[in-house]
Amino acid sequence: MSSGIKVNPECFTVFDELKKGRKFKFVIFKISDDFKEVVVDNTSQDNLKDAEGKDIPQKEDSFEEFILRLPKNSGRFAVFDYTKEPAIYNKLLFYVWAPDNAPIKSKMLYASTKSTLRAELSGISADIQATDGDELTQEAILEKLKTYKYY
């Protein structure tokens, strides 16, 4: 079932920059405040600001930074460029973040919009649905990748 929410073309541009140009380590998407489209929320290149508008220093580990940027009470879509150390391979992972404490409407919108975005993102190696922090660990990624033939 589709929600009728469209995907802003900028999402595809930023995804291509991550996939082909390796410009970003991750990109996070959200449903716009007016519920009409999926838009880019932020990327690994964006600096976050504190309440006073000052830049918050980024974590050295891009995965830690990625986890830090997922909101505690709201859903998100994301693509993370995962590298297994030592750099044996890179895999693009598609995340649907729907925290348990997010409003029901938000979870339903993200669930029903996932296929609209995901269908347009080629080259994704694995889909990961996460509802809490335990599903957002390096170990969880490795377990998920083991279910795919290329691991």
Note the pLDDT tens digit of each residue in 34-46.
999 999 999 998 8
- pLDDT at position 148 is 67
b/e burial code for range 18-31 (CB count within 10 A of at least 16 → b): bbeeeebbbbbbbb
What is the average pLDDT across 1-14? 89
Residue range 115-142: average pLDDT? 90
What is the amino acid identity at position 9?
P
Question: What is the pLDDT, as a whole number, of residue 73?
Answer: 92
Residue 130 identity (one-letter amino acid): A
The model's pTM: 0.88
54: Cβ–Cβ under 8 A, 6 or more apart, which residues?
Answer: none
Structure tokens at 86: 């030592």
Q: Which two tokens stand for residue 16?
A: 């291509």
Res 141: pLDDT: 80
pLDDT, tens digit, for every residue of 86-125?
555 678 999 999 999 999 999 999 999 999 999 999 999 8
Of residues 54 and 126, which shows the higher confidence score?
126
- Return the pLDDT at 61: 82
Question: pLDDT-derived band of residue 85, with 50, 70 and 90 as boundaries?
Answer: low
Return the pLDDT at 115.
93
Q: Which residues of 70-100 are buried (b: 16+ CB within 10 A; e: fewer)?
A: beeebbbbbbbbbeeeeeeeebbbbbbbbbe
DSSP string, 28-58: EEEE-TTSSEEEEEEETTSPEE-TTSPEEPP
